[in-house]
Structure 1
C-alpha cells in the first residue's frame, strides 16, 4: 500500500469532482501511469442503490471489479437509521478490504470523496477520516459561484491539515465566464497566499453542467404526460405566472429552458411552446387541456405534472445539476479535453509522482 501514490479528490455535490477524476485518470494513463479509482463512501437517492459516479468510472475506465468493491459503502438520505441499527458496523472493514483489492498493480489511486467532505463523519469515515486512513494527499475541487467558495476551500484545507493530511492544491471548476478573470487573478492569488496551489481554473460549459430533461423528471418524480426529447439539456428555469402577452416576451429571452406554470394556465403554457423550450413543468396536480398535450407532441416538448406548488418546485430544481452518464462519449471527451486544456495536470502528476 505504501508504494501506491494516493490522491483524494474532495468536493461538494455538483462540483464536478467526478469529471475531474475521470479526466485525470484518462490523461495519467495516456502518459503511461497505471491508475486506479476508488469511491469508499458513495451516495444513492434510493435505499440500497448504487453510486452512479462509481458506475461511470467502472465502465469508462474498464475497472475489472464489481461495483460493491469500487464503492463498498453507499449511503442514502436516511443513513443515520442504518448506522443506529448497526447495519454499517462493518463499513470500515469493507472499505479496507476493497482498497486492498483495487490497489494491486497500480501506480496512482484516485480516491473520490463522498458528495460532501463531512458525509459519514458520524461513522468516522468522512473524507477527512479516509484521507488520514490511507495516507492520501488531497486535491480540493469546487465550483466557483461566489466568494464564499474560496473560504470553503480554505476551511476544507485547514480541516484536512488538522487531521494529518497534506493538501496539494485546488481546482476551481465550472467557473461562469463573467467570473473567469476574477478567479484567475485575485482569487488564485489569495488562495496561494494561504498555501493553496491552484492547478486549474476551468470555465463553465453548459453542455456538462446543465441537467437533461430526463434528469429533472427523475428528480421531481412527477407524472410524464407527454414524452419529448428526454436527452435535451435544460439551461434555465422560467416561471410563468404572468399574463400571456408578458409571458411570450419573457419566454423569448431564454433557450433550452424549463417553464414552470400551473396546469390550469393553458395560455401561458402554449406561449412557452412558441419559444425555445425544453420542457413544461405543470404544478399543483392540475391536469391540462388535451390541446396543450397535442401541441407539445408536435413540438417534441416533454410535459410533466407535479404535485408541488411553484415555489416548492423551484426550490427542488435548485439542487439539480448535470451528470455524465456511462456511455456518453461526447460528454466524456469534453470533460477530458477541458481538463487537458485548462488545468496543469502534468504539473500535478509530477508533484504526486515525485512526492514534492
Structure 2
C-alpha cells in the first residue's frame, strides 16, 4: 500500500488538481482522505469538504465524503482532541480509507501551516501515517526560488519520507527550464517535475456560474455545460459594444440588464455561450423565445451588473466532477511532466 501525502506551501498552489492528475496517470484504485477539511459544504444537515466530495465523485469511491475528514473547525478540534488522540484518529481514518485500495492519497490543508495548532498540518500527517510527502509549489520564478529554499533551510523533515517538490502552473515553461531550473536544482531539494500553466484549467462552465450566483435559469438549461472563456459587460451602447474586439472572441458570456433587449440581441448574434440578466428583470417574451431558439442559456440574478461582474471575478474556478476534459488533461500533464516512479 502506497501512501502519498500532498501538501502545498501556499494557498491555491494546485495540490488537488495535481492529485487528480496523479490518480489518472497511475490508473490504480485509490483511497482518499483530507483530515482537516478547509472547503466546507453544508447540505441537508451534513458537513463535508468540497475536495473530498470531488474526489469521491471523480473516482467513484464508495466511502462517504463526510467520513474523509476528522473536522473542519479549529476551536472544536482543539477542544475535543489532544495530539495523542488526533494521531490515533488519523491512523484509524487512514486504515479505513485504505481498505481494498492500491494507493491512499492524503491531502493537507490550504497551506503548509494550516492545522498545525490542532496537530493536523501536512507534515504531522506524514509522520502519523508514514507515507511519502510531496509538496506542490507554484508562482513566479522568485516565489518558486523562495519556497524551495524555505523547504531546504527551514523545514524539519526528519523521520519523514520526503519525495520532493512538484512545481506547478509555470507560465513560460521553456524559459523556466532553461534559465531557472538548473539554479533551483542546486538548492538540493528533489524536483519531481514542472507542470506548465494551462489556461483551459481556469475556465468554468455556465452551470458553475449559475450555481455560485444562485441564478434562475430562464432559457437553455440543457446547454449549461458550455465553457465560459471571456466575459463581456454589456453596460454600454450597442455601437460602442460592436467596436470592442472582445465581443468577437470565443466563449463570450454577456452580463447585461434584463431590460437591455438591444444588448441581449447583440449577444445572441455573436453566439454568446450564455447571458446573465441582472437586476432581476425578465426580458420580453420574444427575446426569451429567440434565446431558446438559438440554444443560448440565459440566467437571471438579483444583483446589478457591476455587482454581478465583481462576484464572478472573485469566483475560484474549482474543478468539478463534470469537467471531463480538464480531468483528462490533468492526467496527461502529470504523465508527461512528472517523474511518477520517483513518487511511488
How many Å separate the matches in 1 of 2:112 and 2:102? 25
* Structure 2 residue 249 is matched with structure 1 residue 249: no
TM-score normalized with structure 1 length: 0.76
Name the structure 1 match of 2:196. Answer: 203
Query: Structure 1 unaligned runs (5+)?
Result: none
Name the structure 2 match of 1:288. Answer: 283
Name the structure 1 match of 2:55. Answer: 57
**Judging changes above 3 Å, is the alpha-carbon distance between structure 1 residues 37 and 255 closer, same or farther for their aligned structure 2 residues?**
same
How far apart are residue 201 of structure 1 and its match? 2.6
Name the structure 2 match of 1:111. Answer: 106
Post-superposition CA distance 1:250-270 (Å, at most 9, x none): 243421122223333332232
**Judging changes above 3 Å, is the alpha-carbon distance between structure 1 residues 285 and 40 closer, same or farther for their aligned structure 2 residues?**
same
Name the structure 1 match of 2:174. Answer: 181
How many Å separate the matches in 1 of 2:301 and 2:146? 35
How many Å separate the matches in 1 of 2:146 and 2:273? 34
Q: How does 1:32-181 map to 2 (within 5 A)?
A: 36-42=31-37, 43-46=39-42, 48-61=46-59, 63-69=61-67, 71-73=68-70, 75=72, 79=73, 94-104=89-99, 108-142=103-137, 144=139, 146-147=140-141, 149-150=143-144, 153-154=147-148, 157=151, 161-162=155-156, 164=158, 165=160, 167-176=162-171, 179-181=172-174
Post-superposition CA distance 1:289-339 (Å, at most 9, x none): 44433332222222222233444433432332141416x654433322221
How many Å separate the matches in 1 of 2:193 and 2:63? 31
How many Å separate the matches in 2 of 1:334 and 1:269? 34
Q: How does 1:337-348 map to 2 (within 5 A)?
A: 337-346=332-341, 348=342
Instruction: Indicate the RMSD between aligned Cα atoms, in angstroms.
Output: 3.6
Name the structure 2 match of 1:215. Answer: 208
Q: In structure 2, the residue corresponding to 1:261 is in which secondary structure?
A: strand
